[in-house]
Chains A and B, each alone.
Chain A
Amino acid sequence: MRVLILGGAARLGPHVIRALEGEHTLRVTDISPVETPHEYRRVDVADPDDVHRAAEGMDAIVNCTVVREDGQAAFDVNARGCYNMLRAAVAHGIPRVLNTGPHFTIAGRSYTAFDYEIGPDVPPHPSTYLYALSKGLGQEICKVFTENHDVHVLCFLFYDFQDHDAPTVGLNHPFAISWRDAAEAIRLGLSVDLATLPSRCEVFNIFADLPHQRFSNEKNKRLLGFTPQDRLEAMWRRR
C-alpha cells in the first residue's frame, strides 16, 4: 500500500514510520525537514494545494500532525488540516484515512471529571481547551466527510506516550501507551478490512491494558485485533 504520512517529524511520526516501512511504500511529509530513507516532501497541512499534491497516487493517509498551544496554528493544523486532508482524499479517491489526536478530542473534562469506562463512541465533549477543541473540530470534519463521501476515517486517540522499557514510575496517567504499541495500532488500522467496520468513521481509545477502567479500549480488540504488548505497570506501582 502507498501511504502518505502527514506530520512525519512529529513525536509519533518516526515510530509510525518504523512500524510501517517493512510493509508499505511511504511518502513522508512534514512542514519541517525529516531525515528518512523514504520519499520526503515538505507539506504544510494548512495549505490545500500542498496536501492535494502530496496525496496524489496514495492508497491511504496517516495524519500525525499536531499543534497544541498556538492560537492560530492549532486551528490551522488540527482543524483545517483535517479539512484539507479529507478534500484531498476525496479528490484522489483514497478510501482510508487514519487520523490521530489526544483522548480529549472526544472525552474532555465533562467526562473525565465524572465517569468511568469511557468508550470512544460517546458524543464528543472536547471542552474549550484550545488543543482539545481544535482537534475535536478536526475529528468532526472527518465525520462529516465520511457521511457525505465514500471515505473511511479511523481516528486513534492517544495521550501519554511512554518508552516500553522505561515507563515513568508514578506518573499513572490512565491514557498511556508505549510508542511501539501506538505505532502497532496504526499498522493494524492500515490492514483492517474496511468492510468489517460498523461505519465509515470509527474512533479508537489507544492505551495500555491496565485495571483502572477509567476508559475502555475493548473496541480495539474487537475491531482491530489490537492488544497492547506493554502494560506499563510501573506507572501505577506504589513507591
Chain B
Amino acid sequence: MNILITSAASALAQDLARAFSTDHSVHLTDVVDVALPWPFTRCALGHDAATADLVAGVDALIHLAEPPPDYASETEESANRLLDFHTRCTYNLLLAASEAGVARCVYTSSLSLFANIFDEVGCGEDWAVDERWRPRPSTEPPVLARHLGEFVCREFAREGRIAVTCLRLGNVGQPGGRAAPPDDPTWLAHTDAVHAFERALAAPAEPWAIYHVQSAFPGARFSSARARDALGFAPDRSSGGEA
C-alpha cells in the first residue's frame, strides 16, 4: 500500500513512517522542509497542482494535521494560521485525494474536544463519555482547529468521496515514555499512538468512523473500547490498569 503521511516534522509522523515502511511504501510531506530517510515532498497544501501531484498514486492518507512549531504562539495571527491550516489545508488535501481516487484517510483529532464537558452541569468525570457524545470544544485555537478539521473530513465522508477514520487521540507522550504523568488522565503513550494508526489502516474502511484512543492506566479518563472492538487496538498494559 502507498501511504502518504502529513506533518513529517513531527515525531509521530516519523515513528509512523518507521512502522509502516516495513510492509508498505511510505511518503511524507510537510509545509516546511524536513530531512528524512524516507521520500519527502514539501507541500503547502494549496488548491493547486502540487497537492494533486502529492496524492497521485496514494492508497491511504494519514493526515496528522500537526502544525509546525511556529504556529503555536498565542497571538491572534498565529491562531488564524492554525485555523487556516486545519480547515483550508485539510480541505485541499481531501479534495485532491478524493479526486485522485485515494480510498481512505486517517484524520488525527483530539480528546481535548471534550475538555469542556466536565464543566457542564451533571457531566462530572464519572460519566462514560464515548464516541456517541457530541464534542464540546473550547474556543482555544488548537482545540477549535481540530474540531473544524473533523467538520471538513465529515463532509467528504458523508458524500462518499473518501472514507475517513477519525482517531481522537489523548495527549501523546514523548517517544519512549512508558508511564502516565500523574496529572494527565488522557495520556497516550507514543507507542500506543503508533499502534492505533497501524490498526486503523489494517481494519476495513468504513465511510466515517470515530475512535477514542488513549493508553490503559488507572484513572484513564476515556475508554478506547470501541477502538479495541472494531480495530483490535490493544494498548501496552505495562503501565498497569485497565482502560
| Chain A residues in the interface with B (C-beta under 8 A) | 46, 48-49, 52, 71-72, 75-76, 79-80, 83-84, 86-87, 90, 108, 110, 125-128, 130, 133-134, 136-137, 140-141, 144-145, 147-149
> Chain B's nearest CB lies how many Å from the CB of A67?
12
> Chain B's nearest CB lies how many Å from the CB of A230?
33
Query: In whole angstroms, what is the CA distance A134 to B156 when docked?
Result: 13
Question: CB < 8 Å: which of B77, B94, B116, B151 contacts A136?
Answer: B151
On chain B, the residues within 8 Å of A141 by CB distance are 144, 148
Q: What are 25 inter-chain pairs, A to B, with CB distance below 8 A?
A: A48-B80, A49-B76, A75-B88, A76-B84, A79-B87, A79-B148, A80-B80, A83-B79, A83-B83, A83-B144, A86-B139, A125-B158, A126-B155, A127-B155, A127-B158, A128-B91, A128-B94, A128-B95, A128-B161, A136-B151, A137-B151, A140-B151, A141-B148, A144-B139, A147-B116
Query: In whole angstroms, what is the CA distance A150 to B187 when docked?
Result: 31
Query: In whole angstroms, what is the CA distance A80 to B155 when docked?
Result: 19
Q: Which of B88, B95, B147 has the most CB of A within 10 A?
A: B88
Contact at B144–A144, with CB atoms within 8 Å? yes
Contact at A147–B91, with CB atoms within 8 Å? no
On chain A, the residues within 8 Å of B151 by CB distance are 136-137, 140
| Chain B residues in the interface with A (C-beta under 8 A) | 46-47, 76-77, 79-80, 83-84, 87-88, 91-92, 94-95, 98, 116, 136-139, 144, 147-148, 151-152, 155-156, 158-159, 161
> Chain A's nearest CB lies how many Å from the CB of B73?
13
On chain B, the residues within 8 Å of A87 by CB distance are 76, 79, 139
Tell me the dominant secondary structure on chain B's binding face.
Answer: helix
The 6 A-B residue pairs whose C-beta atoms are closest, nearest first, are A71-B47, A48-B76, A75-B88, A148-B139, A128-B155, A79-B87
Question: CB < 8 Å: which of B47, B77, B80, B159 contacts A128?
Answer: B159
> Chain A's nearest CB lies how many Å from the CB of B103?
17
> Chain A's nearest CB lies how many Å from the CB of B45?
11
Contact at A71–B80, with CB atoms within 8 Å? no
On chain B, the residues within 8 Å of A145 by CB distance are 139
On chain A, the residues within 8 Å of B76 by CB distance are 48-49, 52, 84, 87
